[in-house]
Amino acid sequence: METVSKKSFITSEIMKSSITAAFKKLNPVYMVKNPVMFVVEIGFIFVLVLTIFPALLEDSSVQYARLYNALVAAILFITILFANFAEAIAEGRGKAQVQTLKKTKTSTDARVVMADGTHLMKQAEDLKKGDVVLVKTGEIIPNDGEVVDGIATVDESAITGESAPVVKERGGDFSSVTGGTTITSDWLKVEITSLPGESFLDKMIALIEGAKRKKTPNEIALNTLLVSLTIIFLLVVVTLYPMTIYLDVDIPISTLIALVVCLIPTTIGGLLSAIGIAGMDRVTQFNVIAMSGKAVEACGDVDTLILDKTGTITYGNRQASEFLPVQGIDRKKLLRAAWLSSLKDDTPEGKSILTLATTLGIEKNDEKKLVETSTHVVFTAQTRISGMDLENGQKIRKGAYDSMKKMSDAANQVIPKDLEGIVQQVSSLGGTPLVVAIDEKILGVIYLKDVVKSGLKERFELLRAMGIKTIMCTGDNPLTAATIAKEAGVDSFVAESKPEDKINLIKEEQALGKVVAMTGDGTNDAPALAQANVGLAMNSGTNAAKEAANMVDLDSNPTKIIEVVEIGKQLLMTRGALTTFSIANDVAKYFAILPAMLMVAIPEMDVLNIMHLNSPTSAIISALLFNAIIIPLLIPIALKGVSYKPMSTEKLLTRNLLRYGLGGVIAPFVGIKLLDILTSPILTMMNL
């Protein structure tokens, strides 16, 4: 699914709608949800009233009251608009994605299969859970469901953006289908598993829309801190007013309001919602749907990452790597037997054996005749053996070591002395040994290698730098598991792992206070996905897995959990960095406004005027302007996120304090001084 942000950071359509939304959000009923900016709006209304009625408070000593109040009111209004605009931009990007998804929701006719086998046409919105529908080539799957019959390729590009059709069939981890996708070949019978309006597509639309995003615990805690700071500064300014009266210092009410606005954390208050919405949006850009903002935030706190081996750490399809004959057997004879045993084997392993044999120069002149005249012996979980029965009566077999050994023993064949050593050698390398025999006589071993995905070792090193422990779960024996774990670079592993072992592992880590993430796609993974703090289910997996998880990867790439963890950390970093910057800003604004307010009556306060601002009026106006302008300047950082590099928490804290803490102190000093230089001549012309 191509998102707006991949095309352009902010389109002209988003810009126009965001400007309109910024004005609509001025409604006090909406503004009260953001207490910090609500205080600014109240201040604006109060100053606006003073502008219209300058003599309301009988402020006769300030002759320029109306013009000064109007200027302060205008800057406060712009500050509120900029804060609303930041949130509207973030929402606009999400809503653009929603429009793209809504295009896939069309009114679809569904062919319902009745109990007597007849078909009844219904609208998709009239379907119920349990209805079985028949969908043919070129038709749209009307709603989410499970395949109960048939096999077909399905175009999921409307949901995932992946152009290659996906094979769907009954049973296994590829039986789940999503409403709005299209069958490109053959047919499927699908049992509907969701009601209209509750499909996965509907959930995606609701979750992406910023307006429906719920605040996360972390965001609520930060919001509480901002409200507390706002109340504290309000009390400070309220108590300051009687002190100025006692000192016989005449300070306009609008100046006190300006002081409140500059001291309260307006910068982070204006950007907080935008940061949260943008965090959800960034996850969506990776084709991952987060079921809540809490899930995204939890990614940022992950301490332990649990990954399946097959399909996550390794490619999943074992590949033939080498042919190892036993003593006394010619390698070409083993090569020929292995090739014959795999002629009708359509598994990835069987195909890789044929490919390797061909690469090594096997003659294939009689291939077509052999395929036509031979009988394929299918692999089963009981026998763990497969092969071919040739027309001349010869039996070619390949299979697991213990099964093949038992077969040879039963036929009174001598087991080669070096066979066990070869098998152990392959196993110690993390491979799977397949023993090959002709007429129960063992010829040697095929070395099937479980290939670790390239670049994973480096990525696990990055996770280690973040302080995240990686644990591999596999059903392999301890020896094989240890070899793969070493090659992949994971911190630890659990061998011969069963579904309940994953749950116990998650619980053990959580009992130590760890935040745990894991990936899964099957029904047997659902309990563990539900138990984990971050459960990433594959879109190709079962509905049970997707319902249990709090994130769904539309591309069904299990390793994407690594990117999701980085996005979560980036979200927390962005929020922390901008909060640090916002609070640090107040230091400079304090040195700008407070001396300007008091140094006329208290000359000693001039010592604090370290910026040497031109006049009290220019100091206050410059500080207010900087307070307003800094919000839109920080919007790109709020939406894109602070650049993230894996490092320890201590280093991260030090870097942010230096960059955003120190930077937050220095930037206002420079900005306010420049604005003072620019505004002073204008204010002088206006007699202010």
What residue numbers does the annotated binding site for ATP cover?
Answer: 345, 349, 379-386, 398
Structure tokens at 258: 């300006």
What is the spatial distance between Cα 116 and Cα 489, in angstroms, rounded to a whole number? 57
User: Are 571 and 301 a contacting pair, CB within 8 Å?
Assistant: no
**105: Cβ contacts below 8 Å, ≥ 6 apart:** 180, 201, 202, 205
Residue 623, CA distances (Å) to 9, 135, 258, 383, 634 in order: 30, 65, 9, 81, 17
Element (H, E) at 13: helix 12-24
Is 366 known to be catalytic?
no
Burial 247-265, CB ≥16 within 10 A → b, else e = eeeebbbbbbbbbbbbbbb
Q: What is the dihedral of CA 37, 40, 42, 43, to 10 degrees?
A: 180
User: Are 175 and 543 a contacting pair, CB within 8 Å?
Assistant: no
What is the spatial distance between Cα 202 and Cα 184, in angstroms, rounded to a whole number? 23
Structure tokens at 184: 């490109």
User: Are 116 and 129 a contacting pair, CB within 8 Å?
Assistant: no
Q: Which amino acid appears at position 406 of this protein?
A: K
Active-site residue, selected from the candidate residues 144, 281, 308, 555: 308
> Are β-strands 492-494 and 469-473 bridged in parallel, bridged antiparallel, or unpaired?
parallel
Element (H, E) at 264: none
Binding-site residues from annotation for Mg(2+): 521, 525
Residue of 123, 173, 92, 79 whose CA lies nearest to 524: 173
User: Are 494 and 467 a contacting pair, CB within 8 Å?
Assistant: no
Q: At what angle do helices 266-285 and 293-300 cross, to 10 degrees?
A: 90
What is the spatial distance between Cα 506 and Cα 517, in angstroms, rounded to a whole number? 9
Binding-site residues from annotation: 345, 349, 379-386, 398, 521, 525
Active-site positions? 308
